[in-house]
Amino acid sequence: MRNAMTVDVEDYFHVSAFERHIQRGDWDALPCRVERNTDRFLALFAEHGAQATFFVLGWVARRYPALIRRIQEAGHEVASHGMAHVRVNQQSREQFVVDARDSRAILEDAAGVAVRGFRAASFSIGRDNLWALDVLAEVGYQYSSSIYPVNHDLYGMPEAPRFPYRHGGDGILEIPVSTVRLGGRNLPCGGGGYFRLLPYAYYRWAYRHLNGSEGQPAIFYTHPWEIDPDQPRQEGIGLKTRVRHYLNLRRTEGRIARLLSQFRWGRMDEVFLASPTGVDASVASASVA
């Protein structure tokens, strides 16, 4: 079974965990490492014959349009991660319309192809702002991957379906990040900090379980800064933030290489939009009230 490999293209200073420590007005003055690290992913995927979806910030696309063209020309999907990593739960409907619309336009100009997918910063679409899924459909997106059905202190909607579903029954296709169900709870297995914290054997088991026992593709996500242990270190941050951001950065690239060699990986659009409905009939009518 082919799974979906995804990269959220943002730099180390864009992450939500640093938003109280790094001012947005200072971004342009900071050393930017996102281009070189994304190129490392392009080389890694080429080495393993894998394709992926790159959810790119409009901020990045404006500064590195040639990078967006390299992603597209290498056969990967270009999708949107919003303009400047502002969480949707911090935006009004009107602000989010502009954010989703403008980021898509910038990416399409750079890539020269239609942008169909969107992922909210920090999975910030949930029970209190499901209107955002309606906005994404209104401005032209075909799918979202913005809801993580887990309990987390910064995001999460554990009551959401674990597998792809149509919002409201016939709306935009939402493709939740992967979880496994154990002990009556959804446990994360989608990537990010969890991938750096938990044993690799857990991820190997989880994806075999998803592909085999549940018959579902896995959705994995990572970031360019997660393969960059030499990135500038931030001072004055709490222990939790320090652990979440810096833990095991030196091991991440090698672990992703193992995933690429042990499982099949493709683009989100090709894995989930290949059927006429864009989702298996067994879950096509699922919805979140």
What is the reported pLDDT for 238?
Answer: 87
Express each pLDDT in 215-229 by its tens digit: 999 999 999 999 999
Helix or strand (DSSP H, E) at 77: strand 77-80
Which tens digits make up the pLDDT trace of 29-38? 999 999 999 9
pLDDT, one tens digit per residue, over 130-189 is: 999 999 999 999 999 999 999 876 777 999 999 999 999 999 999 999 999 999 999 999
> pTM here?
0.94
Domains of the chain, first to last: 2-272 (3.20.20.370)
- Residue with the bigger pLDDT between 287 and 72: it is 72
Burial class (CB in 10 A: 0-12, 13-18, 19+), 59: buried
Burial class (CB in 10 A: 0-12, 13-18, 19+), 256: buried
Give the model's pLDDT for residue 19. 83
Q: Which two tokens stand for residue 187?
A: 């446990």
Q: What pLDDT is stored for residue 47 in this prediction?
A: 98
Overall average pLDDT of the 69-82 stretch: 98
Return the beta strands (E) in 145-282 as ranges. 165-166, 173-174, 179-182, 185-188, 219-222, 264-266
Q: pLDDT tier at 274 (50, 70, 90 boundaries)?
A: confident
